[in-house]
Chain A
Amino acid sequence: MMNLLRLLGGRTASAPVARERLQILLAHERGLGGQPDLLGLLRAEILAVVSRHVVLDPEKVIVRMDRGKNVSTLEVDIEVPNGFERSIAAVAT
């Protein structure tokens, strides 16, 4: 149907793009629960704690929150370089 309209109108329907962008953005913003930088704060603190034991690339620490109907999930994805045990040893000495 949309394609048909597109053919007839000769123009791309932009409303579906608007809708998708909003859904993604709001899923992120609602997770903040009114605290604009909750995720940033969580990320910084998690990074600080893990960095005490493992050498990390701060760029590779991803904190994401997804709000569902009944429960929300907090996803923390930390990429640890290979041979991190050596890094710990280096830090410890």
Chain B
Amino acid sequence: MSTVLDSRSFLRWCWRQLTSMRTALILLLLLGIAAIPGSLFPQRSQNPLQVKQYFVDNPTLANWLDRFSLFNVYSSPWFSAIYLLLFISLIGCVLPRSIGHLKAIGAAPTITPKYLDRMEYFTEIKKFDLDLAEKQLRKMRFRIRRDSNSISAEKGYARESGNLLFHLSLVLILIAVGVGSLFGSKGDAIVNLGDRFINTPTSYDILGFGKYQAEDSLPPFSLTIKEFKAEYDPATNAPLDYTLTVLAANPAGSKENVEIIKVNKPLTFGSTKVFLQANGHSPIVIVKDKSGKVVFDGPTPFLPQDANLSSIGAIKIPDMQPQIGFVSSFLPTADRDPIRGGFSSYPEVLDPRLLISVWKGDLGLNIGVPQSVYRIDTSKMERIGLKALVLNESYDFGEGSITFTGWKPWVNLQIINDPGKGYALVGAILAISGLLISLFTRQRRIWIKQGRKTQIAGLAKNGIPGLEDEIKKLVKELGSE
């Protein structure tokens, strides 16, 4: 019996600790500090390639960092623990306060304290009519408790309302974030100019689903890439504007509409949005085998490496015997200098080069280990040629030939469904409103007590100034100096 009681009182003690102000403060500070490492180490959620590189550069350190989730800080157990505790504390603190606050609607202020001279503001004046004071205070929209020889008045009830609204809205935002990550989806697809993208899981290069999002729930639209225009500043090479024109059909196969997508202007299908995320060039090559049969003819998206769109890529020909791979770079506007060798000096295609090194052997495509489409694992291959091709040039590498015939732009479409974001926005708006109400409402109390003399005292929450003037004005109105 007593152990039950003990453990119960222990639990109650824990709860009181958790919901105390001091704990809230510590948890808040902890949350801020815990967010720091995520900005110092590369994060898988944003920059998986950089994380991989970190493992290559410092394998031992990286393994240790990984053990403490330092590459996934914001989904790590310790980060989650801090914010969950903070929000439990928040709910435990704010819910009872809200209930108390609701009950206090319309209730009279507390009884006038016995000793007024201890208050922040205190003065004694000539006797005057309490009824008149009450009337005046009511006119000033104070809430009033009138006793036979005293008045207790309070104003600024909205401060607490705003404060509670603010804290409760934070909970709403947290829920919205949760909804987004559990029920949303996010994917990337690289599409060449002229190609059609159909919104099914197999069309994506990368696609991530929330835990509870069904895979067949993608809206069935299709997009055909009609035109892509990138404008650059000739002086600085900086991008000025990107414009993507697509033919959109929803569902696929229905009538197509011309739509424009820009960097800040996605295309919307319900709660799903299509963003223009990145762009690059796809060189077009024709590869023939020894007998002159065409084994490959088409564009291959290359991955840009710098602002001038020097790009790397891999053209893989698994159907030749032996298998052939071209480890390549594409320079849209080729230039040379003695230090860097070949590089691109402008992002548009003005004087293209395709640099290839030809490898023969086993491309390693059948082992089932996923491979980057931009790279070739050459560990089981042998290099048989090296060449820089200008447009329409061919190169014979013994096992066959390759001709560089042109290029096409590609765009990276990012397709995101976040059903929680509407709630997050509502939460954010409510939070700000609550904050404004609470920080700009002055909460204060005024007491008037009739004895041999009349005593007036006041107290302002957080020592916010202005109370003194207010009381002076009141006294003046009552005509008693």
A interacts with B: no
B interface residues, Cβ below 8 angstroms from A: none
A interface residues, Cβ below 8 angstroms from B: none
